[in-house]
Chains A and B, each alone.
Chain A
Amino acid sequence: MIDDALALARNEELRHRIARISSYPDTTFGTMTRAEMAWMSVVFIILPALLVWSFQ
């Protein structure tokens, strides 16, 4: 069985971490703009798919 002290500490740690992470500004890890995501979709999804389709 899980040690009670550990379980208690784990829940306390969880609450602490949730509070920390919830307080991060949206830009903490940088941002990707919609234009960048669109570019990413074209390069990594649409173009490779078109290349495969050209073989059909």
Chain B
Amino acid sequence: MTTATAPTPPPSPPTRAPALEAQLREEAVFGRLPLLREEREYSTRGILATGFSYAVAAWCFLIGGFAATYVDAIQGMVTLIAGSVIGVALSSAAAAMACNRYGLEQIDYTKTAFGQHGAKLVLIFYVVNQVGWTGMILVMFGRGVMNVAQAFGFQGGESLVRVAVVLGLLAAYVVVVRGVHVLNVFNAVITPGLLLATAFLFYAICRDGGWQTVLDATPIQPTGERALDNIIAFELGLGAGFSWWPGIGFLARNTDTQRNSVYPQILTMGLGMGVVCCTGLFAGLAFQASDPTEWLIQAGGRGMGTAVLVLLGVANLSASAIMMYTAALGLRHVRVLRALPWKLLVALAFLPVLAYAVAPELLYEKGNAFLTYNATMFAPISGILLVDYFPLRRERINVSQVFEDHPSGHYWFTRGFNVVALVAMLVGQVLYVWLLNPVSLETHGPVRSTTASAPAFLVPTLFYAVATWAWGTRRGLGGYGAPTEALPLKQPNL
């Protein structure tokens, strides 16, 4: 437990050399230093524009294509949009508001519920999410290169995909090492370009038979059970929504109000992404191919198809660089990695992505499993953070203790781990896999009525609330109800 200290006026900012000041400012925006009120860059318009540029990305076509495997146009539209909106709403409910209020980075905030070391386990899921998406879209880039080559009569096969993935990795590595600011130029072109590509795809789909063709098209390879197909497509939408969990805090900490930390994210990364995913769904149904790199050539012909694939290639490289940048930043939470030079740390983050260069087709085919993996991992975590921040902590945390690695710190719990949160998370993840195995799609229990994500969210939430109230708070763990004034740091973890 801690003792209350009398409130003191905030100190004046330390005086430093301009170069050092600039570096620390950079570390506040892109690193772990908490962001001050006057440093927040996003008002309503800013966060809407940024959220939309994040949401309208190449993976939307991929997600829509996966859904076309199981459901028709109407069912797919409902499940994808509803799933994305719910996934982002649940992901952002606690994380966005806490990261906005305290200017914290996502994993730092997670320490308040999972403990100083427990949050590093969540970091593993965070990095797997970034690595997995990077690998998926780099293979998509590689398959785009292969299909363009095929359209011009060159048969490269999987070897060409491997080469393209390695080249994409190298390009993304160079961008991350040099600084992702260079991507601002690309992004100014990519988002409008992808919107144009989306409009073109709608035109191409309707040109070749009209809207009725899309409505009449049957799913590519359904399971044969309509209720299960509906649930799988819904889980794909939820997975797409929960995929944003690692990015929520990064954006929310830079917004100027609590409302701007939540609503724009739901509207852009939830609703906006869901709508754009529908383009991939319609095209997948119309051309009976779930892979965008296949149907783009069919939809646009050699000329337009190649142009859109090149645009997607650039978009994918840009998105890969941003995701690996945040993954490398995340690795700085690990003490032994913190002192590594940036180039080496980035290389370390890129290392697992090489698996996608070794077996691109195998991993790409399991893309829908990866999508639902995100719901498996982040639905329980979102529930735990929600119940911890709102009813248990009443929206108040001690920001100084987030950076305290000393065992007397509020968020040290037991040896740095909050056992209750870890057990709750494990229960949720096991429950999800039991209800709906993301890889084999084997089902158990009432998954057709309850979905897999809902129990995986609700059960850990209730378990965590009851166990923390009955056990954690009574043992004085976690700083529940303790004063939130800044305490002197004994062992800072920055």
Chain A residue nearest in CB terms to B20: A9
Complex-state Cα separation, A53 to B450, whole angstroms: 9
- Please tell me which one of the listed residues A10, A17, A19, A48 contacts residue B85 in the complex, with CB atoms under 8 A apart: A48
- Do the beta carbons of A48 and B86 come within 8 Å of each other? yes
Contacts of A14 in B (CB 8 A): 33-34, 403, 489, 492, 494
- Please tell me which one of the listed residues B78, B83, B258 contacts residue A29 in the complex, with CB atoms under 8 A apart: B258
Complex-state Cα separation, A51 to B451, whole angstroms: 13
B461 beta carbon closer than 8 Å to chain A: no
Chain A residue nearest in CB terms to B395: A26
Using a Cβ cutoff of 8 Å, how many contacts connect chains A and B?
Answer: 123
- Please tell me which one of the listed residues B34, B82, B257 contacts residue A17 in the complex, with CB atoms under 8 A apart: B34
Report A28 CB to chain B, min CB distance, Å.
Answer: 6
Taking CB atoms and an 8 Å cut-off, the chain A residues in 3-47 that contact chain B are: 5-6, 9-24, 26, 28-32, 40-41, 44-45
Which of B86, B230, B231 has the most chain A CB within a 10 Å cutoff? Answer: B86
Q: Is the interface of B mostly helix, strand, loop or mixed?
A: helix
B316 beta carbon closer than 8 Å to chain A: no
Complex-state Cα separation, A51 to B237, whole angstroms: 14
Given A2-B339, A10-B27, A23-B7, residue A18 in contact with residue B486 (CB < 8 A): yes
Report B153 CB to chain A, min CB distance, Å.
Answer: 45
Contacts of A5 in B (CB 8 A): 20
Which one, B60-68, B94-102, B115-123, B433-441, is touching chain A?
B94-102
- Do the beta carbons of B230 and A52 come within 8 Å of each other? yes
Report A5 CB to chain B, min CB distance, Å.
Answer: 7
Given A13-B14, A17-B103, residue A32 in contact with residue B400 (CB < 8 A): no
- Do the beta carbons of B10 and A19 come within 8 Å of each other? yes
Complex-state Cα separation, A56 to B13, whole angstroms: 59
B466 beta carbon closer than 8 Å to chain A: no
- Do the beta carbons of B82 and A52 come within 8 Å of each other? yes
B406 beta carbon closer than 8 Å to chain A: no
Contacts of B7 in A (CB 8 A): 23
Report A54 CB to chain B, min CB distance, Å.
Answer: 8
B485 beta carbon closer than 8 Å to chain A: yes
- Do the beta carbons of A44 and B103 come within 8 Å of each other? no
Chain B residue nearest in CB terms to A44: B89
Chain A residue nearest in CB terms to B338: A2
Complex-state Cα separation, A26 to B397, whole angstroms: 11
- Do the beta carbons of B258 and A44 come within 8 Å of each other? no
Number of interface residues of B (CB under 8 A): 62
- Please tell me which one of the listed residues B86, B89, B234, B399 contacts residue A18 in the complex, with CB atoms under 8 A apart: B399
Complex-state Cα separation, A21 to B227, whole angstroms: 49
Given A5-B20, A29-B256, residue A16 in contact with residue B400 (CB < 8 A): no
Contacts of A18 in B (CB 8 A): 34, 399-400, 403, 486, 489
- Do the beta carbons of A17 and B28 come within 8 Å of each other? yes
B393 beta carbon closer than 8 Å to chain A: no
Contacts of B489 in A (CB 8 A): 11, 14-15, 18
Contacts of B486 in A (CB 8 A): 18-19, 22-23
Contacts of B11 in A (CB 8 A): 16, 19
- Do the beta carbons of A13 and B75 come within 8 Å of each other? no
Complex-state Cα separation, A8 to B412, whole angstroms: 24
- Please tell me which one of the listed residues B37, B101, B103, B234 contacts residue A52 in the complex, with CB atoms under 8 A apart: B234
Complex-state Cα separation, A6 to B20, whole angstroms: 7
Chain A residue nearest in CB terms to B234: A52
- Please tell me which one of the listed residues B37, B231, B492 contacts residue A11 in the complex, with CB atoms under 8 A apart: B492
B90 beta carbon closer than 8 Å to chain A: yes
- Do the beta carbons of B23 and A16 come within 8 Å of each other? no
- Please tell me which one of the listed residues A1, A15, A17, A51 contacts residue B78 in the complex, with CB atoms under 8 A apart: A51
B18 beta carbon closer than 8 Å to chain A: no
B79 beta carbon closer than 8 Å to chain A: yes
Contacts of B90 in A (CB 8 A): 45
Complex-state Cα separation, A17 to B230, whole angstroms: 48
Known contacts A30-B258, A48-B81, A55-B75; 16 further A-B pairs (Cβ under 8 A): A13-B14, A13-B33, A16-B11, A18-B400, A19-B486, A21-B399, A22-B398, A23-B7, A23-B9, A29-B258, A31-B258, A40-B262, A48-B83, A52-B82, A52-B230, A56-B231
A interface residues with partner B (beta carbon < 8 Å): 1-2, 5-6, 9-24, 26, 28-32, 40-41, 44-45, 48-49, 51-52, 55-56
